[in-house]
Amino acid sequence: MTSSLPGVNLSNLASSSVPSLQEFVLQGSVVDSACDALLHRLRALCDNVDRAPETFQDHEMVYLLRTSGPGNPVVLRARHARDQHNMPWNYSYFCFDLNAPSFFRQLRYLGQSDISDKSRLVTVRSYLDCSTSEQLPQFLTDIGFRLDHEFVAKGHMFRKGKMKVTITKIFKILTPGNLEALEPLSISQLVELSIIAPSGTDGIGEDMRAFAEQLRPLVSMEKI
């Protein structure tokens, strides 16, 4: 999988052996006080009823590269999980710090949402991602990207077949560099339904809509 950098045309990628992926997204929001009811409902609707929902804590940094000439700047997202502890493969210490965060980061590119088809029920945008080592921020800065903003996302994840449902609370980082001082961005949580599938897959929008209908009175999911 290659990541998209300025100068690489996405249409070239489509013809190569790398499958071009698309992300189908529906978003909604729920107030903090109503979050518990939503969690209960999702727990019953989604897979793995007997297990507690997965929680996650991620730190995401959004990088921008302004291209000379007209057009929107390229946006790349670097994200890593703060609550996972991976032993690095070249680990040579006898004791390692359990509080050390994960060593692997994820680089993600999200294209503009495709507005050509007005009748489509969900937002569709092109999606590219790859897993990288921990030097990703340094690498991006060296290439020429500038850090635009960063945030910490905490929440729960559910899965239903191919679909991923996340309920995220986004936190603002008060002082850059210190990831402990966080402040919630708003009093509500972001609910997102997403499926990542090769481009051209049909029927996904209908399935997602049908699922979103079941969450109806608690949260109404819309296209972006």
Residues found near other proteins in the complex (CB under 8 A)? 1, 21, 47-48, 54, 56, 58, 60, 79-81, 84, 86, 89, 102-106, 108, 129-133, 153, 155, 157, 159, 162, 164, 166, 196
Residue 110 makes CB contacts below 8 A (sequence gap 6+) with 23, 75, 77, 125, 126, 127
DSSP element (H, E) containing 15: helix 10-15
Least Å from the CB of residue 15 to other proteins: 22
156: tokens are 């729960």
Considering beta carbons, is residue 161 or 176 the nearer one to other proteins?
161
- Burial of 70 per CB tally in 10 Å (0-12, 13-18, 19+): exposed
| CA angle (25 as vertex; 19, 28 as ends), nearest 5 | 165
* Residue with tokens 């939503």, as numbered in its chain: 38
Cβ closer to other proteins: 113 or 132?
132
Nearer of residues 68 and 89 to other proteins, judged by Cβ? 89
Q: How far is the CB of 118 from other proteins (least distance, A)?
A: 27
Residue placing its CB nearer to other proteins in the complex, 56 or 120:
56
Task: Identify which of 65, 67, 90, 91 has the alpha carbon closest to the alpha carbon of residue 78.
Answer: 65
Residues near 40 by beta carbon (within 8 Å), at least 6 away in sequence: none
Nearest C-alpha neighbor of 127 from the set 197, 223, 202, 222: 197
Shortest gap between Cβ of 181 and other proteins (angstroms)?
A: 21
Work out how close the CB of 218 gets to other proteins at its nearest, in angstroms, rounded to a whole number. Answer: 21
Which residue's entry shows tokens 């009093």?
A: 187
Q: Which is nearer to other proteins, 28 or 101 (CB)?
A: 101
DSSP-based three-state secondary structure for 122:
coil
Please say which residue, 33 or 138, places its beta carbon nearer to other proteins: 138
Q: In the complex, what is the shortest distance from the CB of residue 33 to other proteins, in angstroms, rounded to a whole number?
A: 23
Shortest Å, Cβ 94 to other proteins:
21
